[in-house]
Amino acid sequence: MKRLKPLIGLVLCAAFLWNSVPVRAFETDQYDLPPEPLADIGDEVTEYVADNLRKAIEKLNAGIARHQACLDDARKSGCDSAAEERAALAYLRSEAALAKQVFKPLGGGIPPFTNSDSWIKSHKFKAQPALYKTSFSKSIYRTFPSNYFTISETVNLFGVNLGIDKIAHIFQQGYTYYKTVEDGRKNDLPREKALKKAVDWGRISEKTYYGYWVSGIYSNGDLAANYAGMKFYEGLTREIEIAGRRRPPVVVLKDGLWTVNENVDLRAELLRPFISDHLNEALNPSHYANFFGFRSVVRGTVKKQACAGWRKLYPDRTAADFEKLTADLKLWFGEDYGHKDSPNLITIANTCF
């Protein structure tokens, strides 16, 4: 049965193609390096996120003003009871309301599709080349075409090469993590247990409908993106710590209205802290099921098609350097994000040296 489950992905993909349904990105391939360095689009993506954040704030503040007007003038038409108006105001001024309003334009969509990854795929970036998709002949998915048909383009954000799918994970599954932890907090569950519950959900999703069942892949990079996304949503209204550095909340309540924190530089602090090599699936490799020799083909393809490029790009790095880099990515700046280790991981160190 286990060997048959990955075939479900192939069948589903064929069905999608047969019915002319637009197929979106599920997997990625950072082993195959772009023929020329990709332009860094981090600032442009940050502008997009910041713009949607401001729109979310404006929408919440409009609702706050409307309900406050009802409380100030009970005779105003279209108002509810004072108790209902106060409850509505309390919600609109809550962390949960802000997180949900930010989630809608960024992580909204039918999983695994999101508004944000759709925007990246369609946006005309000023800097070029902005996106890179490996050819089928060089792809690690040659023996599993459904993965290639849904492959995510690689982009460069703040010097990190990652698949567009990681942006979707940050804003969509990251919000699921956030809600899981918040629900635990409401039920007086210690944060450590609530956090474990969120991470365990991520592990299960990679073992089933987001991973092994449809692609034969358990992605450590996806789990890191989920965790980073949770931190993104928490950091909207709270001080957070990343790699030993504390960042103030991005948004604060001032005189009953939401406003961007004047002590936070959105260009430098809104998205950049959550983008790291954890999201690069060559440096933080996935688990590949070995049905029909899938794992062996991936390793052989990397060795034949990609290793020369890595050695050329980093002539001064040794196997030990890459081993240390990959080892350092097993935790998200000291925090457990659900990484699954194995001697079968296909790393740059054990494949190219």
The average pLDDT across 206-231 equals 92
Give yes or no for residue 342 having a pLDDT over 90: yes
- Any long-range contacts for 119-126 (C-beta under 8 Å, 24+ apart)? 119/48, 120/45, 120/155, 120/164, 120/167, 121/25, 121/153, 121/164, 123/44, 123/48, 125/39, 125/41, 125/44, 126/44
**Position 197 confidence tier, pLDDT thresholds 50, 70, 90:** very high
Helix (H) or strand (E) segment spanning residue 200 = helix 191-207
Residues 6+ apart with CB under 8 A from 99: 175, 178, 233, 236, 237
Give yes or no for residue 15 having a pLDDT over 50: no
**Position 303 confidence tier, pLDDT thresholds 50, 70, 90:** very high
Amino acid (1-letter code) at residue 46 = T
Query: Is the pTM here over 0.75, yes or no?
Result: yes
- What's residue 21's pLDDT? 32
Cα of 305 vs its chain's centroid, Å: 27
- What's residue 58's pLDDT? 98
CA nearest to 250, candidates 34, 15, 31, 56? 56
Concatenating the DSSP letter of every residue in 46-101 gives HHHHHHHHHHHHHHHHHHHHHHHHHHH-TTSTT---HHHHHHHHHHHTSHHHHHHH
How does the average pLDDT of the chain come out, rounded? 90
Give yes or no for residue 210 having a pLDDT over 90: no
